[in-house]
Amino acid sequence: MGDTLLALLCAHLLADFLLQTRTMIRRKHELSMLLLHVLIVTGLSALLLGSSNPVVLLAIFASHFLFDWLKIRFCDNSALPFILDQLAHLSVIVLIAITLPTTFAEGAWPTWLPPPLLDGYLLALSLVAGTVATVVAGGFLIEKLTAPLAREIMTSAPTSGDKAVAGTPDDGRSVPTDNPLPDGLTHGGKVIGWLERLLVLVLILADMANGIGFLVVAKSIMRFGDIRDSGHRKLAEYIIIGTFASFCWALLVALPTRAAMLHYLP
């Protein structure tokens, strides 16, 4: 069951967060673009499973199409619909793994690959799934969770252009300010968020969790260097929330990723 679950989960994460571009997301209301995305999910599931089981592939295709269509038709772009959509997809994946647990074992990969290479393949799937979930999916989640806070800051202070400031949180959103803070890079916050979550994942996988404390301290010094007075309180709280959400998500995903990889290590 675990192998089937891992292959389907990795396919879902790759298709939803790496192979689905911003353009595809913007045009997802078009039937052709939605079908293209669902076909990518289904095809990647078949590839990573090494199986063409029609029941599994039909379940993936139909459920992914239905959930995405419902989200596009009835939901906005906030955090709650995003979370519910992902939970719905994960529920189907878990249900398939429970009801058809031998799908991976009966597929092509166990036949083609000797046991050491098969374990290496599953180890690679664990690493890829964990990395995408930690770094990329975490970025989308934190961006949506902190969006209401960013809007509150924007409405409470006069804007000075669409420039990102040094206090941009881990999703790369721009927060206009009336204070003369140095301008930040356009996607600086997003890249910082990716790197910090990746570092947390690496530290957990290397069994060096103590290093996360130093990472938190370094991040705090860097992000609060330009925020010294009470006039920046909302911005400071915004950064704190984004930072801790980023670290919590990274830990939440990194620990099961390490457990899965240890399971497949020889």
State pLDDT tens for residues 51-82. Answer: 999 999 999 999 999 999 999 999 888 899 99
Count of domains observed in the chain = 2
pTM here is 0.85
Residue with tokens 């040094």: 166
Residues 132 and 233 in one domain: yes
User: What's the mean pLDDT in 38-45?
Assistant: 97
Residues 151 and 195 in one domain: yes
Residues 80 and 147 in one domain: no
- Domain extent at residue 242: 113-157+187-265
Angstrom distance (rounded) from CA 62 to CA 55: 10
Residue 192 token pair: 């910082």
Asked if the structure places residue 193 within a domain, the reply is yes
Predicted confidence at residue 179, as pLDDT, reads 41
**Could you tell me how many residues make up the chain?**
266
Angstrom distance (rounded) from CA 250 to CA 238: 18
Predicted confidence at residue 162, as pLDDT, reads 42
Residues 106 and 137 in one domain: no
Residue 230 has pLDDT above 60, yes or no: no
Q: Which of 17-31, 104-118, 120-134, 177-191 has the lowest mean pLDDT?
A: 177-191
CB-based contact 142:169 (threshold 8 Å) = yes
For the chain, percent of residues with pLDDT exceeding 70 = 85
More confident residue, 159 or 188: 188
Asked if the structure places residue 51 within a domain, the reply is yes
CB-based contact 227:167 (threshold 8 Å) = yes
Residue 251's alpha-carbon distances to 35, 108, 200, in angstroms, are 34, 34, 7
SS3 label, residue 18: coil
Residue 19 has pLDDT above 60, yes or no: yes
SS3 label, residue 165: strand
pLDDT, tens digit (0-9, with 9 covering 90-100), for 109-121: 999 999 999 999 9
